[in-house]
Amino acid sequence: MVLQWSLFFMYICIKVTPTEASSWTAAVPSSVKGLLGSCVVIPCSYNYKEPQKYPKTFTGIWYNDNNQVICHSDASKTSSQFRNRTKLLGDLSKKNCSLMIDKFTKRDAGTFHFRIEIKDYELFSYSKNKISVSVIDEPNPIDFFLQDEVKEGENVSASCSVSHSCPTYPPSFIWSHSGEKHDQTQQLQNDQWKATSTLTFHPNRTHHNQPLQCRVTYHGGKHQEQSKTLKVKYAPVNVKAEYQSDVNEGETAHLKCSSDANPVSSYEWHNETGALLNKGQTYTMSNVSRHSEAVYCTAVNEEGRNRSSTVKLNVLYPPDIETSSKCFSEDGVVKCECIVESRPPSIVHFVLGDRVLQSTNVETVGSVTTGTLQTDFGSFNFVHCLANNTLGNANLTLSLPANDNMQNIFIASGAGVIFLIILIATGVGVVKKCRGRSGETPTSDLDTMKAERPVELPRYAPTKRKEDRKDMSCSDIYANDHVYGNTDCDESIYNNV
Ligand SMILES: *[C@@H]1O[C@H](CO)[C@@H](O)[C@H](O)[C@H]1NC(C)=O
Ligand SMILES: *[C@@H]1O[C@H](CO)[C@@H](O)[C@H](O)[C@H]1NC(C)=O
Ligand SMILES: *[C@@H]1O[C@H](CO)[C@@H](O)[C@H](O)[C@H]1NC(C)=O
Ligand SMILES: *[C@@H]1O[C@H](CO)[C@@H](O)[C@H](O)[C@H]1NC(C)=O
Ligand SMILES: *[C@@H]1O[C@H](CO)[C@@H](O)[C@H](O)[C@H]1NC(C)=O
Ligand SMILES: *[C@@H]1O[C@H](CO)[C@@H](O)[C@H](O)[C@H]1NC(C)=O
Ligand SMILES: *[C@@H]1O[C@H](CO)[C@@H](O)[C@H](O)[C@H]1NC(C)=O
Ligand SMILES: *[C@@H]1O[C@H](CO)[C@@H](O)[C@H](O)[C@H]1NC(C)=O
Ligand SMILES: *[C@@H]1O[C@H](CO)[C@@H](O)[C@H](O)[C@H]1NC(C)=O
């Protein structure tokens, strides 16, 4: 009976023992690479056979193959080569034996193992679980990701990642562009870590062909960069139609369209109402005239289209004097208005008799120049308007209003009345050969005008009185044959002396 019980007990024991997970094992990677001057972390977890009583005090020690103490729970027992540079990162009581070595040097490289000393229990060296720690002079290359081509305004993410072995002080990232930056570190299967920085930004056309750079700085100061040129697609902007500033009427104008776009634009030309005139970067307008329509160009690419402002050629042409030009009387004052259309604006002057007179007032609105002359027109029946610009000249004869002209004569020759009375009194014969003024039309051209001589007012045969103006006719003018040998009641009376 006792044997049966003891067998049963043994059976229990045999059954239970394998279920007891605890044993003297450690888990470390077989090798780790440390960046020179930076830090290296050796991930480590260990296990021990569970004692009866839960242990309280643990001492962890890391050795290398030379039995140098790389790290000791009691820092003073760490070998001077490693003192202040090594640290047990984990909590030993939680079976974590992770080790960090800072300012890693070439001398530090070697094969390490861990040893645990549990107070009032056992001491154990995990010499079967060795880790080889080597040094690398330069960091691992940057893994840079950026799409080959992005679109303006799109949400674009670029990322930059590096593998490293110092999760305590992960590398820092700096991007050459502003944006939303997000950094993270993840553990890789080979007991290395991967630090990734992601930049989200909205590229615009000013970023096209600019490098996007990621700079990685490792703990300890080493750094490296990688960059890639941004290729930003954008719809055309700054669409301009270029053309010669001035073109003479009848000549040919060459217009060229330009724009800023990626990919490059194709071009179209339209008139103001939007009708398509031509496709292509240039547009030729032959035989331009002052009436040539305004045009604009449109730049098109796969991202969109945009147009230039409307351009109207500055067509140059010689002056045209408008037939609406005239002389008129206003509040008893005679004015002559000469309306000239030309580009560039003309200089407008007048010829009265053989005198060249400047316009008393000039007004230019667009291509229309209005020259006004206000002067003493004497007894002239017409005045000539001359207009010139760089391309040519024009002239037009303007009739002066009859009545007002006469009135001027009266005013001007007021002094002559006395002379007339004297003439009558002296019994000089009266000439009545004159025609009526009213039916008269000026016919002389400028060349004959030039032959005219300046007026000599005192010699005029004056009218009797102002009140007589209404029935004024040539018969009222008394003149002396001797003085007015060739008289004819138009202005030649006064001139052809
Ligand atoms: C370690 O640091 C302590 C103070 O923090 C300093 O006194 C000591 O000299 C350092 N030892 C080494 C080997 O750098
Ligand atoms: C050990 O401790 C370190 C530092 O606290 C920690 O990062 C690591 O995850 C721990 N390892 C385990 C297996 O818990
Ligand atoms: C762009 O990305 C940011 C961050 O990922 C997000 O907050 C935002 O909503 C996104 N915008 C658009 C238009 O997708
Ligand atoms: C392009 O984006 C930058 C910011 O990244 C901004 O300062 C600039 O004004 C933008 N330019 C245009 C043309 O949108
Ligand atoms: C057209 O170009 C102008 C600048 O030249 C820009 O401001 C505008 O946004 C563009 N329009 C479109 C629809 O791209
Ligand atoms: C534009 O061109 C169309 C077609 O040639 C024509 O019918 C239209 O009159 C033009 N518009 C202007 C403002 O010139
Ligand atoms: C140029 O245009 C004018 C009208 O604008 C026309 O009278 C003339 O014949 C044209 N000349 C040529 C060479 O086409
Ligand atoms: C127009 O004619 C006047 C006088 O004949 C001359 O002084 C002036 O330079 C000319 N102007 C132009 C633009 O040809
Ligand atoms: C006036 O114009 C005519 C043509 O319209 C021209 O023959 C004449 O020479 C011009 N006279 C002057 C002085 O310019």
Q: What is the pLDDT of residue 56?
A: 84
Residues 462 and 334 in one domain: yes
Q: Which amino acid is at 379?
A: S
Residue 346 alpha carbon, nearest atom of ligand 8:
13
Q: What is the pLDDT of residue 122?
A: 87
Q: What is the pLDDT of residue 187?
A: 86
Q: What is the pLDDT of residue 243?
A: 93
Residues 497 and 419 in one domain: yes
Residue 80 alpha carbon, nearest atom of ligand 1:
13
Residues 412 and 290 in one domain: no
Residues 149 and 131 in one domain: no
Is there an atom of ligand 9 within 6 Å of 388 CB? no
> What's the 203 CA to ligand 3 centre distance in angstroms?
13
Token pair 């490098």: residue: 211
Q: What is the pLDDT of residue 339?
A: 97
Q: What is the pLDDT of residues 89-106, one digit of tens each?
A: 989 999 999 999 999 999
Is 11 within the bounds of a domain?
A: no
| Counted domains in the chain | 4
Is 5 within the bounds of a domain?
A: no
Is there an atom of ligand 1 within 6 Å of 17 CB? no
> What's the 144 CA to ligand 3 centre distance in angstroms?
21
CATH of the domain at 184: 2.60.40.10
Residues 459 and 360 in one domain: yes
> What's the 342 CA to ligand 4 centre distance in angstroms?
46
Mean pLDDT in the chain? Answer: 81
Listed residues 289, 313, 337: the one ending a domain: 313
Positions of the chain with pLDDT under 50: 1-3, 5-20, 404-405, 408-412, 414-418, 422, 428-497
Residues 25 and 55 in one domain: yes
Is there an atom of ligand 3 within 6 Å of 153 CB? no
Is 466 within the bounds of a domain?
A: yes
Is 443 within the bounds of a domain?
A: no
> What's the 393 CA to ligand 9 centre distance in angstroms?
8
> What's the 85 CA to ligand 1 centre distance in angstroms?
9
Residues 467 and 328 in one domain: yes
Is 467 within the bounds of a domain?
A: yes
Residue 178 alpha carbon, nearest atom of ligand 4:
5
Q: What is the pLDDT of residue 19?
A: 35
Is 117 within the bounds of a domain?
A: yes
Is there an atom of ligand 5 within 6 Å of 308 CB? no
Nearest CA to ligand 5 atom 3: 237
> What's the 241 CA to ligand 5 centre distance in angstroms?
15
Residue 179 alpha carbon, nearest atom of ligand 4:
5
Q: For helices 414-425 and 402-412, give the axis angle rounded to 10 degrees.
A: 70
Residues 466 and 356 in one domain: yes
Domain extent at residue 400: 319-426+450-497
Nearest CA to ligand 6 atom 2: 275
> If residue 11 lies in a helix (H) or strand (E), which one and from where to where?
helix 2-16
Nearest CA to ligand 7 atom 2: 287
Residues 347 and 326 in one domain: yes
Residues 327 and 399 in one domain: yes
> What's the 96 CA to ligand 2 centre distance in angstroms?
6
Residue 207 alpha carbon, nearest atom of ligand 4:
1
Listed residues 172, 202, 230: the one ending a domain: 230
Residues 79 and 184 in one domain: no
Q: What is the pLDDT of residue 423?
A: 52
Is 193 within the bounds of a domain?
A: yes
Listed residues 93, 115, 136: the one ending a domain: 136
> What's the 87 CA to ligand 5 centre distance in angstroms?
61
Most informative mutation of 204, 205, 232, 237 for ligand 5 (most atoms within 8 A of CB):
237
Q: What is the pLDDT of residues 246-302, one digit of tens each?
A: 999 999 999 999 999 999 999 999 999 999 999 999 999 999 999 999 999 999 999
Nearest CA to ligand 8 atom 5: 388
* pTM of the predicted structure, to 2 decimals: 0.66
- Residues lining ligand 4, judged by CB closer than 6 Å? 178, 204, 206
Is there an atom of ligand 5 within 6 Å of 258 CB? no
Tokens of 75: 């820092």
- Which residues, other chains included, contact 160 with Cβ-Cβ below 8 Å and sequence gap of 6+? 142, 143, 144, 145, 173, 175, 196, 197, 199, 214, 216, 226
Other CB atoms closer than 10 Å to residue 366's CB: what's the count?
8
Q: What is the pLDDT of residue 301?
A: 96
DSSP 91-138: -GGGTB--EEE-S--GGG-EEEEEEEEETTS-EEE-TTS-EEEEEESS
CA angle 426, 427, 433 (to 5 degrees): 130
Q: Which amino acid is at 248?
A: N
> What's the 134 CA to ligand 2 centre distance in angstroms?
21
> What's the 250 CA to ligand 8 centre distance in angstroms?
23
Most informative mutation of 175, 206, 230, 238 for ligand 4 (most atoms within 8 A of CB):
206
DSSP 422-476: HHHHTTPPPP--PPPSTT------HHHHHH-----GGGS---S-GGGGGG--GGG
Q: Which ligand is nearest to the CA of 152?
A: 4
Nearest CA to ligand 4 atom 1: 204
Is there an atom of ligand 2 within 6 Å of 132 CB? no
Residue 289 alpha carbon, nearest atom of ligand 7:
5
Residues 246 and 225 in one domain: no
Q: What is the pLDDT of residue 425?
A: 55
Is 86 within the bounds of a domain?
A: yes
